[in-house]
Amino acid sequence: SAVGRGPEVPFSSEAYRISATSRGKELRLRLGPLGPGPAQHLVFRFGMSGLFRLCPADQLPRHAHLRFLTGESPPRALCFIDARRFGSWRLGDAWQPDRGPCVLSEYQAFRENVLKNLDDKAFDKPICEALLNQRFFNGIGNYLRAEILYRLKIPPFEKARTVLEALKEQDQAKRKKNPSLTLSKKLKLMRENPDLLELCHTVPMEVIAGDKKLFDPEHSDNYAAFKSWLQCYLVPGMSSLRDRSGRTIWFQGEPGPMAPKGQKSRKKRVQLKADPEAPTPEVTTCASKRHPRAVAKPPQPVVEEEEAAGRLRRGRSCRQRKATLAPASLEVPVKAQRRHRGRGEA
């Protein structure tokens, strides 16, 4: 599109097939022509609102920044839609070099990459901030970190190294006790007593196992299912703070020893639905307690209240004028009379 920030895609073919693979927060598309010609690769990052949608070519949605047209009649378009334009794409098949193994497809490599690099300064930070570091947690985002920490009851501002060093010791103890654990037994132990790194794998898998249109706001039923799946993120009754990168972390209980100073924990209010058949509660004011007879009187219309307020204001202004005129009747010293001569008696 004319307002798209990504590079031009130098690819054209009468017929081609699109295939895709993902790694962490990146998606790689391969445009493979069915005839002669080289393939074209694109690597996407989705930002906060990026998504793909297939729609009629003559009904393109807003913010469709890249379109792949079909050869049918009438044609359709596979659109990369990004309302906030935080997403991007680049030419080529290379993943970003500063991203670690994927928490989904490369779980074992992901786990080893974290535990063998605990001396890195990234783990000097709170665990909620370390979880967003894509060098080690490639695929974890803001809502996932809240859900993971909530399930384990880990304070979000606990030091990351303190949390993860315990996992390193557990791994070493497991190897000594059971050096010949089969994969099925390992998976069973993971399901029964998951640790933080295991939840970095299983919690995103729960989302993937859900409906394909889980995040699409236009499908309200599916989006409602996603909201009901959330246990912590944006859930009423949970507390929230901003971390040092400005991202909001949702949690329950104490924030932890590394919580930013000068912030007050904000709680999301519990919004209860009103029962239409419930009786209207009586509001008892301080005035009604002092003058119980006034409660029995029917409320005056708004017009009368405004007129009463006007009379009150006029009464106040009269009293103020009287108060200003009162000192004029007092005897004024001679020096003061001379000083104000010619300026009026008042």
Please check whether residues 143 and 220 belong to one and the same domain: yes
CATH number at 20 reads 3.20.190.10
DSSP string, 117-147: TTTSGGGGSBHHHHTT-TTTSBT--HHHHHH
R_g of the chain, CA atoms, integer Å = 33
> Would you say residue 285 lies in a domain?
no
CA nearest 264: which of 235, 234, 241?
241
Portion of the chain with pLDDT greater than 70, in percent: 68
Angstrom distance (rounded) from CA 281 to CA 305: 23
Average pLDDT over residues 270-282: 46
Q: Are 29 and 80 in contact (CB under 8 A)?
A: no
Q: Is residue 275 part of a domain?
A: no
CA 42 to mean position of chain CA atoms: 28
Is residue 154 located within the same domain as residue 86?
no
CA 338, CA 193: separation in Å to the nearest integer?
95
Q: How many whole angstroms separate alpha carbon 183 and alpha carbon 171? A: 15
More confident residue, 158 or 13: 158
Q: Are residues 73 and 214 in the same domain?
A: no
Domain count, the chain: 2
Which of 138-142, 172-176, 300-304, 342-346 is predicted least confidently? 300-304
Per-residue pLDDT at 335 exceeds 60: no
Token representation of residue 104: 């989904």
Q: CB of 126 within 8 A of CB of 156?
A: yes
Pair 166, 247 in one domain: yes
210 and 170 part of one domain: yes
When pLDDT is averaged across residues 267-287 and rounded to a whole number, the result is 50
Clarify whether residues 121 and 252 are in a common domain. Answer: yes
Reduce the DSSP state of residue 228 to 3 states and report it: helix
- Residue 227, pLDDT > 80, answer yes
User: Between 175 and 56, whose confidence is greater?
Assistant: 56
Average pLDDT over residues 94-106: 95
Same domain, 143 and 253: yes
- Domain of 39, in residue numbers: 16-91
Least confident of 38-52, 182-196, 320-334: 320-334
Of 240, 267, 294, the residue at which a domain comes to its end is 267
**Reported confidence tier of residue 176, pLDDT bands at 50, 70, 90:** low
Residue 217 domain-assigned (yes or no): yes
As a whole number, mean pLDDT of residues 290-305 equals 44
- Looking at residue 177, what is its pLDDT? 62
Residue with the two structure tokens 């445009």: 31
126 and 228, same domain (yes or no): yes
Assess contact for 145 and 160: CB atoms under 8 A.
no
For residues 115 and 249, state if they share a domain: yes
